[in-house]
C-alpha cells in the first residue's frame, strides 16, 4: 500500500510560548501600534550591540534601507554600488531617489560582493556602497570600509541575513559603517513576521530616520502620550513615510532577540552536519567563517559541480519528488527584466554571479528541523548524486 510522503518545507519560523504570551499581553493592553513594546525592542537591540548605537524599529528591511539612504542625502543621478546577487529590495530603494544602482560582481568563494569590483565601479557620481552579507557570512568589511574611507563614500550594510554575524570579531551592526539594516521577515534568523531594524552610531542619521519613518512627524503617538506636551499636538517637519513597527510585531521580536544565539547555534549544528555528510559529493559547499567569527547560517547554499549526474533544475525537481522543498538564492538582478533592460546589463559582465546562479541550490536550514529531518535531506541528496 502506497504511503503519503510527509512534506519538508524550506523554512519555518520558531515561535514559542514566550512570543505568544507577549503578543497576547499587547493585545490586552489596547496598545497595538508603535508603543511601549516597540520602544523596549529597540532598547534591547541597542544593548545587544554594546549600547553605543541607536536602533530604530521599522516595518521591513526595505523601508530601513530607504530611510538610511534618505538620511544620507542620496539624490537624483547619484550612484550606489551594490551586488546583483541579492533580492531586488537592495537595489530598488536606490531608485526611490531616481538614483542609480551600480552592480559589482561577487567573490566566487564567499558569494559576497568583491571589494576589488567595488573599487573598479566607482565614478565621480558614486555616493554610497550597500554590501550584502549573503547567507549570514560577513562581507570583507575591512576592505569595504577602507575603500569607502579613501573615496569619501557612505556605507549602508544590508544585513537581512546576518543576525548574529561577526566581522573582525565584532557584531555586524557595530562596525564603522553609517548604518546597518536587519530583516525580521518570517524566514529570517529572527522574525517578527514582517519587520526590520536600522542600527547606527550616527545620532543625525538616527534622528532623521526616527522622524521620517512616521510621516515626518516630530513625535510618534507613544511619545506624545507620555510627553509633557499636549498629546494631541504634533508637528510635521518633513515629507515622511509610513514605516513604523507595531507593538504586535515588536512583542515577537523581544523574545526572538533573547534566543538569537540559541537559534544560531542550532542552525550551525545543521550546517556542520551538512558539511560533514556532503564531503566527497560533486558539490561546492558553503565557505566556513574565519576562525573566531560567527556565521548566522541563514542559508546553506550548495553548488553542483560539472561532475554532478544532474543539473541544478533537475536536482530541485528530484528533491521535490522526495517531498523536500529547496530554493534558489538568488535569481540575479542582472537577469531580472527591469534591471537588465533599464541598465543594459549583460550576463557576461558578471561571470561569477552567473556561474554561481546556474549551480546553486539552497537547502532547508531552520531551527525546527529535527535530526531526522536533517538526515532525510542528507539521504535524499546522497541518493541523487552518488
* Residues near 88 by beta carbon (within 8 Å), at least 6 away in sequence: 333, 336, 338, 339
pTM: 0.96
What pLDDT was estimated at residue 196?
Answer: 98
Distance CA 254, CA 38 (A): 9
**Gap between the Cα atoms of 89 and 132, Å rounded:** 11
In tens, the pLDDT along 346-359 reads 999 999 999 999 99
Please state the domain extents for the chain: 17-258, 260-385
pLDDT mean over 332-343: 98
Question: Residue 2: pLDDT band by 50, 70, 90 thresholds?
Answer: very low
CATH class of 17-258: alpha beta
Here the cell at position 279 is 564531503
Q: What is the mean pLDDT of residues 288-292?
A: 96
As a whole number, mean pLDDT of residues 35-54 equals 96
- Residue 1: pLDDT over 60: no
Residues with catalytic function: 188
pLDDT beyond 80 at 195: yes
> What is the pLDDT, as a whole number, of residue 225?
61
Say how many residues make up the chain.
Answer: 386
Using alpha carbons, select from 164, 163, 117, 172 the residue that is nearest to residue 139. Answer: 172
Residue with cell 564603522: 176
Cell of 28: 490586552
Q: For residues 60 and 194, is the Cβ–Cβ distance under 8 A?
A: yes
Q: Would you tell me which CATH number, out of the four given (3.40.50.300, 3.40.50.1470, 3.50.50.60, 3.90.1150.10), belongs to the domain 260-385?
A: 3.90.1150.10
Amino acid at each position: 500500500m502506497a504511503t503519503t510522503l510527509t512534506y519538508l518545507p524550506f523554512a519555518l519560523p520558531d515561535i514559542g510560548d514566550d512570543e505568544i504570551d507577549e503578543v497576547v499581553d499587547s493585545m490586552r493592553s489596547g496598545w497595538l501600534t508603535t508603543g511601549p513594546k516597540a520602544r523596549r525592542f529597540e532598547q534591547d537591540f541597542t544593548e545587544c550591540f554594546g549600547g553605543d548605537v541607536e536602533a530604530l524599529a521599522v516595518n521591513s528591511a526595505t523601508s530601513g534601507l530607504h530611510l538610511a539612504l534618505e538620511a544620507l542625502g542620496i539624490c537624483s543621478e547619484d550612484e550606489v554600488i551594490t551586488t546583483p546577487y541579492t533580492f531586488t529590495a537592495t537595489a530598488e530603494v536606490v531608485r526611490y531617489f531616481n538614483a542609480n544602482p551600480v552592480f559589482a560582481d561577487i567573490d566566487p568563494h564567499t558569494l559576497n560582493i568583491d571589494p576589488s569590483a567595488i573599487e573598479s565601479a566607482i565614478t565621480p557620481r558614486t555616493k554610497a556602497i550597500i554590501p550584502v552579507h549573503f547567507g549570514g557570512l560577513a562581507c570583507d568589511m575591512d576592505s569595504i570600509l577602507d575603500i569607502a574611507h579613501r573615496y569619501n563614500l557612505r556605507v549602508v550594510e544590508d544585513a537581512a541575513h546576518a543576525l548574529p554575524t561577526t566581522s573582525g570579531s565584532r557584531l555586524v551592526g557595530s562596525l564603522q559603517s553609517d548604518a546597518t539594516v536587519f530583516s525580521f521577515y518570517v524566514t529570517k534568523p529572527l522574525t517578527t513576521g514582517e519587520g526590520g531594524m536600522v542600527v547606527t552610531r550616527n545620532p543625525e542619521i538616527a534622528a532623521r530616520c526616527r522622524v521620517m519613518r512616521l510621516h515626518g512627524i516630530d513625535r510618534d503617538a507613544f511619545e506624545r502620550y507620555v510627553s509633557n506636551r499636549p498629546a494631541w499636538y504634533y508637528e510635521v517637519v518633513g515629507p515622511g513615510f509610513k514605516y513604523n513597527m507595531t507593538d504586535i510585531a515588536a512583542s515577537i521580536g523581544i523574545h526572538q532577540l533573547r534566543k538569537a544565539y540559541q537559534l544560531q547555534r542550532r542552525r550551525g549544528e545543521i550546517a556542520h552536519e551538512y558539511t560533514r555528510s556532503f564531503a566527497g559529493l560533486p558539490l561546492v559547499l558553503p565557505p566556513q567563517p574565519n576562525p573566531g567569527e560567527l556565521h548566522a547560517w541563514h542559508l546553506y547554499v550548495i553548488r553542483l559541480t560539472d561532475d554532478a549526474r544532474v543539473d541544478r533544475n533537475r536536482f530541485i525537481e528530484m528533491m521535490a519528488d522526495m517531498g523536500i522543498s529547496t530554493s534558489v538564492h538568488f535569481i540575479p538582478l542582472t537577469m531580472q527584466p527591469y534591471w537588465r533592460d533599464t541598465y543594459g546589463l549583460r550576463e557576461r559582465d558578471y561571470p561569477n554571479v552567473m556561474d554561481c546562479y546556474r549551480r546553486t541550490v539552497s537547502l532547508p536550514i531552520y531551527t525546527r528541523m529535527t535530526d531526522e529531518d536533517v538526515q532525510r535531506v542528507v539521504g535524499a541528496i546522497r541518493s541523487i548524486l552518488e
